[in-house]
Structure 1
Amino acid sequence: MQVIIIGSGSVGSSIARELLSHGHKVTIIDEKPEVIGRSPDIKNAHWLIGDACELSVLKQSHPETCDVIVAATGDDKSNLVVSLMARSEFGVPRTVARVNNPKNEWLFDDSWGVDVAVSTPRLMTALVEEAVEVGDVVRLLTLQTGGAMLVEYTVPMDHPIIGHTVDNVQWPAETTLTAILRDGTPITPTGDDVIEGEDELFFITTPEGEEDIRLLFS
């Protein structure tokens, strides 16, 4: 897979490091020349120095041939501009954008060319809530394309859903149970799987489905 990453800060570098370790081709665009070589473990990435918000700079990375662009800078305006240019000017199939300020999250949608918006503060909050609030529906990630989202629910030990098979539960419309995490082991759910206490249930759903999940487990 060919990936272009905008920004080589801690977030961009971490993403590049993981992708390179998985054998993907990575191009990193950053304004600061001194960042090249700062992290030896991402030296195999192709580097391009310049402001990716400038069309001429972004064009040098050949985004028309890439599979994904990741806008990972610490500036929300830059991430939005890059995402919009990637989609409108180069037809990049998939864009992932970092949201730094949760107040700007509403902007990161398809109208700005963003497929997946990742809000670090929201994700950290969700992970904290997921760790301490058994029995509450927690939103982990919003996928702007189609308005889908990933939510998680940890089943309390005394919940009446325990003992029922997946097929016996009337899940809300526009909601798919995609995974069960049990004792740290991920399970691909089948209709015959029996739900147990402290199971972590992961759903892909819509905003309406999220509310229906809350009603189901309330």
Structure 2
Amino acid sequence: MRVIVCGAGQVGSTIARHLAGERIDVTVIDNSPEQARRADESYDVRGMVGHASHPEVLERAGARDADMLIAVTRSDEVNMVACQVAYSLFGVKRRIARVRHAGYLEPIWRGLYADNQLPIDVIISPEVEVARGIARRLRTPGAFDMVPLAGGRVQLLGIHCTEATCPVAGMRFRDLPDRLPDCGFVAVAILREGRAFVPRGEDQVRCGDDVYVVTEPAAVDRVMAAFGHAERIARRVLLVGGGNVGLHLAQMLATEAPQVMLKLIEHGRERADYVARELGAGAVVLHGDALDAEVLEEANVAAAETVVAVTNDDETNIFASLLAKRAGCGRVVTLVNKASYQPMLPWMGIDTVVSPSAITISSILRHVRHRAVAAVYTLREDFGEVIEAEAQKGSPLVAAPLRSVGMPAGMLVGALVRAGEVIIPNGETLVQPGDRVIAVVSYNALHAAEEMIAGEPSAPAASPA
């Protein structure tokens, strides 16, 4: 398989690194000689300098033989034209573009992306994806992460194990099903002291761990209580930042949770006026600096149950979150782009960190995986993913009970969906062909895991999502 990645920024270079690690032939194009050189020297990819939408550049990148083009430059227009050129001149089969501007995403313009117009198979909108991710977290307040899988029949929860409230601290993971028989979950990954790993049965839950579990929606409250969480859904929410993420999130909350009393702080006067017009009676919009004590007092930050900081500046988001906690706010959700900041934030008292690049990477990778893989969620860019895949007839996974199939180290099955019913598995569970398999897989085990599920060497998805 050959893939061209347009754009060698954080998202493009990370995508290229993942694909190269799976023995895919990758070429990365960037206008910046430094970025292209870094990609060429850092990963097993070919980095080249050029304008990603120019035909001669795409031809030099090997577009005539490419199976897929992923356009994630900083320009929506370059991304869209690159897809057009790749399709019209070189017949590239699959084309994925990152598109940020809200005007391009209106439902009434969806016909623009048909094959006879702008032929883009998959459009990734980071701002919309981030807003959806935050809205999901607000619906499960005790969790720092929540992702629906298998059409909503299964949920992936990220749970903090705090010293004061975690009843399962000190228990071995193999003992959790017996000690908590009414919960029905599988712990699939642990983040501990900056390190992520798939737990073994003899490992113990420790205070300070972040635990990812897979469970059914009906069991979420019981699972959260087992880990010492009984937080209520916030009714008073303060948003910091009225950019695309803040506006999308405010509109989602106004539609999906009209009981929420919503306030929003926006630094720019014109943008604040625009957001106020867009939201109407759905929110109170304040113009001002969220780092100004008087503005926070006017917003009554002390009474807010959750503050969500989603400006375009990491430092503003971090300090606004810290000021909100200091003022008495119970929970903060903080958008942070710089990966180097993220390990420090839990120590600072920030409850939930949202990474736009991780969300974008997850959205793109799900369209690159083996045709049997339906969904992908990146847990950490240096660790692995949660995958949702269909077990194939004749694959090793269906040959014996889970305890005996010889899964690679770094793979753990968290749930099965069979004929619409959810099965929380144990070692004796036998996977059947056609089952939807929810599993966590570390990157060093990904290729082996795909072959175990599919029963043949991996190949990319062929139909548009």
Same fold (TM over 0.5): yes
Are the equivalent residues in 2 in contact too, given 1:164–1:195 (CA < 8 A)? no
Inter-partner Cα distance in structure 2 for 1:201 and 1:53: 42
The 5-angstrom pairing of residues 178-193 of structure 1 reads 188-191=422-425
Inter-partner Cα distance in structure 2 for 1:86 and 1:213: 41
Inter-partner Cα distance in structure 2 for 1:94 and 1:170: 42
Inter-partner Cα distance in structure 1 for 2:352 and 2:263: 19
- Alignment partner, residue 104 of structure 1: 341
- Alignment partner, residue 58 of structure 1: 296
CA deviation after TM superposition for structure 1 residue 168, in Å: 9.2
Inter-partner Cα distance in structure 2 for 1:188 and 1:9: 39
Inter-partner Cα distance in structure 2 for 1:116 and 1:15: 16
Worse-matched range after superposition: 17-26 or 34-43: 34-43
Gaps of 5+ in 2: 1-234, 451-465
CA deviation after TM superposition for structure 1 residue 5, in Å: 0.5
> Partner amino acid for 1:95?
V
CA deviation after TM superposition for structure 1 residue 56, in Å: 2.3
* 1:42 maps onto 2:279 in alignment: yes
* 1:117 maps onto 2:353 in alignment: yes
CA deviation after TM superposition for structure 1 residue 210, in Å: 5.9
Inter-partner Cα distance in structure 2 for 1:26 and 1:67: 11
Distance 1:56 1:126, change over 3 A: same
Inter-partner Cα distance in structure 1 for 2:384 and 2:416: 13
- Alignment partner, residue 369 of structure 2: 133
* 1:69 maps onto 2:307 in alignment: yes
The 5-angstrom pairing of residues 1-218 of structure 1 reads 1-21=235-255, 22-23=257-258, 24-39=260-275, 40-43=277-280, 44-87=282-325, 89-107=326-344, 109-134=345-370, 139-140=377-378, 151-155=385-389, 157=392, 159-162=395-398, 177=414, 188-191=422-425, 194=431, 196=433, 199=436, 201=438, 217=449
Are the equivalent residues in 2 in contact too, given 1:72–1:79 (CA < 8 A)? yes
Say which one has the larger Rg: 2
> Partner amino acid for 2:301?
P
Inter-partner Cα distance in structure 2 for 1:169 and 1:95: 43
Percent identity, aligned pairs only, is 22
CA deviation after TM superposition for structure 1 residue 122, in Å: 1.5
CA deviation after TM superposition for structure 1 residue 138, in Å: 5.6
Report which structure shows greater RCO (CA 8 Å, sep ≥6).
Answer: 1
Distance 1:202 1:35, change over 3 A: farther
Inter-partner Cα distance in structure 1 for 2:310 and 2:246: 5
- Alignment partner, residue 45 of structure 2: none
Q: Deviations over 1:82-105 (max 9, x none)?
A: 111122x12322211112333433
Inter-partner Cα distance in structure 1 for 2:262 and 2:296: 14
CA deviation after TM superposition for structure 1 residue 217, in Å: 4.0
- Alignment partner, residue 206 of structure 1: none
Q: CA RMSD in A?
A: 4.0
Distance 1:138 1:29, change over 3 A: same
- Alignment partner, residue 146 of structure 1: none
Inter-partner Cα distance in structure 2 for 1:100 and 1:63: 24
Q: Deviations over 1:15-53 (max 9, x none)?
A: 110011121221000112222442444122111111111
Are the equivalent residues in 2 in contact too, given 1:123–1:141 (CA < 8 A)? no
> Partner amino acid for 1:119?
S
Q: Deviations over 1:173-192 (max 9, x none)?
A: xx893x66789x8x654447
Are the equivalent residues in 2 in contact too, given 1:30–1:49 (CA < 8 A)? yes
CA deviation after TM superposition for structure 1 residue 55, in Å: 2.2
Inter-partner Cα distance in structure 2 for 1:72 and 1:33: 17
If the length of structure 2 is used for normalisation, what is the TM-score? 0.36
